Amino acid sequence: MVPPSMGPSCHLPCSTAAGVLLWCISVCLTLHAVRAQSATFTSTVGGKEFTTFSFPTFDRSLMQLPTNLTFAGNSSVTQNTLQITPDSNSASGPDNFLVNQTGSVFLSSPFVLWASEPAGGRYVASFSTVFRINLYRANATNKGEGLAFVVASSNGGGSPPPGSHGGYLGLTNASTDGNAANGFAAVELDTVKQPYDLDDNHVGLDVNGVRSTHAAALTPFGIQLAPIDTTVNDGFYMVWVDYNGATRRVRAYMAKNGSRPGVAVLDAPLDLSTVLLGKRAYFGFSASTGVKYQFNCVRMWNMTVERLPDSSTASRSMSGWKLGAAVGVPCAVALAIGLLAGLYIRRKGKMVAGVTAVDLSAIPGMPREFDFRELKRGTNNFDKKMKLGQGGYGVVYRATVAGEGGRSMEVAVKQFSGANTKGQEDFLAELSIINRLRHRNLVKLIGWCHQNGVLLLVYDLMPNGSLDRHLFGRAGDAPSPTLSWEQRYKVAAGVASALNYLHHDYDHVVIHRDMKPSNIMLDAAFNARLGDFGLARALDADKTSYTDRAGLPGTLGYIAPECFHTGRATRESDVFGFGAVVLEIVCGRRNSCCHPAGCSQLLEEAWELHGAGSVLEAVDPRLAGAFDEAEAERLLLLGLACSHPNPGERPKAQAILQILTHSAPPPDVPPSRPAFMWPVVLVKGDEEMYTSGSSATCSTVMTSSLLR
């Protein structure tokens, strides 16, 4: 079966449409259940045409002409397997036969992968593939170099580039690496660490060169390419690569067994229409060995590609194209409107109060602008009795406002204190991003209001308030009944899911910057809804907006140690905050720290208990033993792993989600808390983010209060 191309969460209407379509294909394909060996067929789903082929196994006859596959360099078929580099010894000895080899195997016919749209812009085809690899370490002490799934403007032209052995994976060589003229994109499975690589066991997206634009270590996913001990791990993996032409994103998934996991090992933007040299491209594989070597094998290969009309045969049916346009054009229009709105906000920022209000509200999907008088009335003139709480950036009130069709609805109104003009401009620009974030574990923004220097945001009202109230109670509040174990686990999983969405699943990386229980809201069914995401960036230009946080106990415990040095919020610092929250959820008490010296008592105690082999003693005594021990241990180990002092050692949100969904084992945690190392070593992908993100700090007041 061909898997649907979308990940677990589709957020934009366009990608949803594409996701539904690809899902339809997968359903239809299973119904048709083509059993022929190495078969090709076309299908039509919702007016789009797709070509599907499948090689359940490979036959030597594929190497004879005329053939479906083009073999180049040292590739061949033996033992029903594509050997992208050779796998058997010869009289000349392994070192001559297996060392410094390169090979590629491409489909002989190209596919048209994009088309110009009448209105301008490009419609890009989607595809979905699955193949089974075996990277076998022929030499117990060495492995090298890697295998890549490739989409290229050329099919190798008879031989891979000269000098493309070793780290070049048969794709480029020292003089051509990185040239736009190469016209390819590849998903590499790399087993040797080059100076520019993050490790010797990673997946990466290569665009015109082997220095990956995005890469992810596979070890945290429990994946070991070319394993040493083949009695434990035979080195076979299923690899899924899904490309969504509408959202221009590529996602790769890996698993030992037949079913695709929910979490991608690689998720990266990729616009094939700008990478490829023309509209046509070849699909295939490329691999190399270096001084060190392994077998680079592909055992089966299925693929479904959306068919676009070939411009050279323009008389063909236009139905697929029309449907493409039907989906693509509204998206393009929506995007254009969004961009215009963004520009408008930036340019007219100073006039925000009056003018943009009207224009913004005309844009579908934009949060609605509320009339200040309505919010004033709805909150009883911001009556203290209507106060729900005091968050990081201001006070939150309950309010009743007019909703759809004039019915009244209950909302939460957050009044921001001390935002200056700069803050407002940035804020509205940010609002357009925040507004596009859609996830079941994020608090939904309903609208906004700006009047006389006061900013107000209107959110869905969360009937069960914030998590801290349930975990710790609040001074003056009647203590709430404590959360059950199931509720706690669900909350942790919900927050992880939201974090994964912000960090990896959304088109931009969104850093939350302020993970803590008071920012985690609970809906009627006690599902976690993360609030205040992205706001720090809009508001932290103004220090005074933090002043109300300085006195709050507990806040310091969520700030990653490196932040005190870098002053920058990163995905890793969010994960640190998440770790603190998880420990608090399990232990039911604050990661208390009124002053830096006493900062991480909970963390330290939990780590000590873990070292002593009795980590479960940290579980909230109020649960009176009513909890699942395996789950509690899983959460505690996860909380500790996320609290690792060194950012590079913390799990990524994707891995966290896998651990919480039980699709990955609990993390390994050292028995004692490791020392914080400075300077922090950053991995490549994150470095980019550090610089491209705003200069926003982890938290201005935290840094300054520490330095005081």
- Give the strand pairing for 214-217 and 202-207: antiparallel
**In whole angstroms, what is the distance from residue 342 CA to residue 345 CA?**
5
Cβ–Cβ < 8 Å for 123, 117:
yes
- Between 85 and 432, name the residue whose CB sits nearer to ligand NAG: 85
- Between 60 and 350, name the residue whose CB sits nearer to ligand NAG: 60
Asked if 692 interacts with ligand NAG (CB under 6 A), we say no
Per-residue contact flags (x/-) with ligand NAG for residues 331 to 360, judged by CB under 6 A:
------------------------------
**In whole angstroms, what is the distance from residue 396 CA to residue 417 CA?**
11
- Between 73 and 531, name the residue whose CB sits nearer to ligand NAG: 73
Query: Residues 6 or more apart from 672 whose CB is under 8 A from it?
Result: 607, 608, 611
Asked if 174 interacts with ligand NAG (CB under 6 A), we say yes
Q: How far is the CB of 663 from ligand NAG (least distance, A)?
A: 8
Q: Which amino acid is at 113?
A: L
Q: How far is the CB of 31 from ligand NAG (least distance, A)?
A: 11
What phi-psi label fits residue 170: left (phi over 0), alpha (psi between -120 and 50 degrees) or beta?
left
Report which residue's Cβ sits closest to ligand NAG. Answer: 163
| CB atoms closer than 10 angstroms to residue 644 | 23
Q: Which amino acid is at 326?
A: A
Q: How far is the CB of 150 from ligand NAG (least distance, A)?
A: 15
Residues annotated as catalytic (active site), given as ranges: 514
- Between 74 and 658, name the residue whose CB sits nearer to ligand NAG: 74
Asked if 166 interacts with ligand NAG (CB under 6 A), we say yes
**In whole angstroms, what is the distance from residue 426 CA to residue 707 CA?**
27
Per-residue contact flags (x/-) with ligand NAG for residues 285 to 324, judged by CB under 6 A:
------x----------x----------------------
Query: Residues 6 or more apart from 272 whose CB is under 8 A from it?
Result: 113, 114, 124, 151, 185, 243, 245, 248, 281
Q: How far is the CB of 104 from ligand NAG (least distance, A)?
A: 11
Asked if 163 interacts with ligand NAG (CB under 6 A), we say yes
Query: Looking at 159-167, 428-436, 468-476, 556-564, which segment touches ligand NAG (CB under 6 A)?
Result: 159-167
- Give me the helices (H) in 599-694, please: 601-611, 629-642, 653-660, 684-692
**In whole angstroms, what is the distance from residue 286 CA to residue 284 CA?**
7
Helix (H, G, I), strand (E, B) or coil at 374: helix
**In whole angstroms, what is the distance from residue 56 CA to residue 76 CA?**
17
**In whole angstroms, what is the distance from residue 25 CA to residue 244 CA?**
14
* Single residue of 64, 257, 312, 381 touching ligand NAG by CB under 6 A: 257
Query: Backbone phi, then psi, for 481, in 5-degree steps?
Result: -60, 140
- Between 28 and 616, name the residue whose CB sits nearer to ligand NAG: 28
* Single residue of 7, 19, 86, 320 touching ligand NAG by CB under 6 A: 86
Asked if 173 interacts with ligand NAG (CB under 6 A), we say yes
Q: How far is the CB of 54 from ligand NAG (least distance, A)?
A: 4
Provide the CB-side half-sphere exposure for 92 (13 A, CA): 6
Query: Residues 6 or more apart from 275 whose CB is under 8 A from it?
Result: 183, 184, 185, 207, 208
* Single residue of 84, 115, 125, 130 touching ligand NAG by CB under 6 A: 130
Angle at 207 between CA 4 and CA 243, to 5 degrees: 10
Of residues 92 through 121, those in contact with ligand NAG by CB under 6 A are 95, 97, 99-101
Q: How far is the CB of 647 from ligand NAG (least distance, A)?
A: 30
Asked if 159 interacts with ligand NAG (CB under 6 A), we say yes
- 385 marked ligand binding residue: no
- Give the strand pairing for 520-522 and 528-530: antiparallel
- Between 97 and 533, name the residue whose CB sits nearer to ligand NAG: 97
| CB atoms closer than 10 angstroms to residue 405 | 5
* Single residue of 42, 61, 68, 80 touching ligand NAG by CB under 6 A: 68
Per-residue contact flags (x/-) with ligand NAG for residues 19 to 48, judged by CB under 6 A:
---------------x---xxx--------
Query: Looking at 186-194, 254-262, 308-316, 462-470, which segment touches ligand NAG (CB under 6 A)?
Result: 254-262
Query: Backbone phi, then psi, for 170, in 5-degree steps?
Result: 75, 10
Of residues 394 through 453, those in contact with ligand NAG by CB under 6 A are none
Total residues at interface with ligand NAG (CB under 6 A): 36
Asked if 231 interacts with ligand NAG (CB under 6 A), we say no
Instruction: Cite the annotated binding site for ATP by residue number.
Output: 414
Instruction: Cite the annotated binding site by residue number.
Output: 414
Q: Which residues contact ligand NAG by CB under 6 A?
A: 1, 34, 38-40, 53-55, 68, 73-74, 86, 95, 97, 99-101, 130, 139-142, 159, 161-163, 166, 173-176, 256-258, 291, 302
